[in-house]
Amino acid sequence: MMRNILKLRVINFFGAATFATYGLLIGVNPVLLLNGFITLVDIYYLVDMFKKNDQFGLIEVNLKNHEYIRRNIYLQRSVGSRY
């Protein structure tokens, strides 16, 4: 299974562009049109991916006093002891 959507889009772009060129060279319009459309969709999403500037930050959490962490540790210990 593909974990990286960028890698998937790039591979799909080159594959669709190759088959669109193949369809053009042998004169088969359905192959050309379908793969040309897929190529355009891949270009759209690749440009969109490169334009986004997602920023993430880290926050400090006090593990001893954080209710969410304490509940998860308790849950893991209680469920883990069953197996």
Reported as a single tens digit per residue, the pLDDT across 4-49 is 888 999 999 999 999 999 999 999 999 999 999 999 999 999 999 8
Rounded CA gap, 52 and 55, in Å? 9
pTM of this prediction? 0.61
Does 21 or 83 have the greater pLDDT score?
Answer: 21
H or E segment to which residue 34 belongs: helix 29-51
Which among 3, 12, 81 is positioned nearest to 45, based on CA atoms? 12
The structural domains of the chain, with segments of one domain joined by +, span: 5-80
